[in-house]
């Protein structure tokens, strides 16, 4: 199948598919005219990568997940460890975002938002760390 067909089926932009090929995540066959010829297996890998990326896994994590997926002798403990580490990073980001939100909400609440020039938001941003 050509890149347009596989892009539609895997729900990925053709540019992303070319990038994944460039970094070695997929290696489609080539037709005699040099065009890429994606197999069902390639399409499945691309859909897998798209889902993993949508969950926030890094490219290197995706590379490892794909290797584990293709290894029938893998231990699920390896996969779980990788996913657990990723989940911990997500939890850290959520905590950071919650803290940022709380700080900003307090500043917004403290600002009168009127015609006067004094503004707690700008005062806080202007503090030296």
Question: Using CA atoms in the order 3, 7, 8, 12, what is the torsion angle rounded to 10 degrees?
Answer: -170
Model pTM?
0.80
What confidence tens digit (pLDDT) does each residue in 81-122 have? 999 999 999 999 999 999 999 999 999 999 998 998 999 999
**What is the residue whose two structure tokens read 């540019």?**
15
Q: Please, what is the average pLDDT of the chain?
A: 95
Confidence of residue 129 (pLDDT cuts 50, 70, 90): confident
Q: Is the dihedral angle over the CA atoms 73, 40, 17, 55 positive or is it negative?
A: negative
What confidence tens digit (pLDDT) does each residue in 25-81 have? 999 999 999 899 999 999 999 999 999 999 999 999 999 999 999 999 999 999 999
Task: Single out the residue of 91, 64, 88 nearest to residue 78, CA to CA.
Answer: 64
């Amino acid at each position: 199948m050509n890149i347009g067909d596989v892009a539609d089926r895997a729900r990925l932009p053709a540019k992303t598919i070319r990038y994944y090929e460039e970094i070695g995540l997929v290696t489609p066959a080539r037709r005699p005219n040099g065009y890429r010829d994606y197999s069902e297996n390639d399409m499945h890998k691309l859909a897998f990568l798209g889902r993993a990326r949508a969950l926030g896994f890094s490219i290197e994590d995706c590379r490892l997940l794909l290797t584990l997926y293709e290894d029938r002798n893998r231990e699920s403990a390896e996969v779980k460890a990788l996913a657990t580490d990723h989940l911990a990073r997500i939890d850290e980001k959520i905590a950071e975002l919650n803290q940022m939100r709380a700080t900003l909400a307090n500043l917004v609440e403290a600002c009168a938002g009127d015609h006067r020039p004094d503004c707690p938001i700008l005062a806080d941003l202007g503090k030296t760390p």
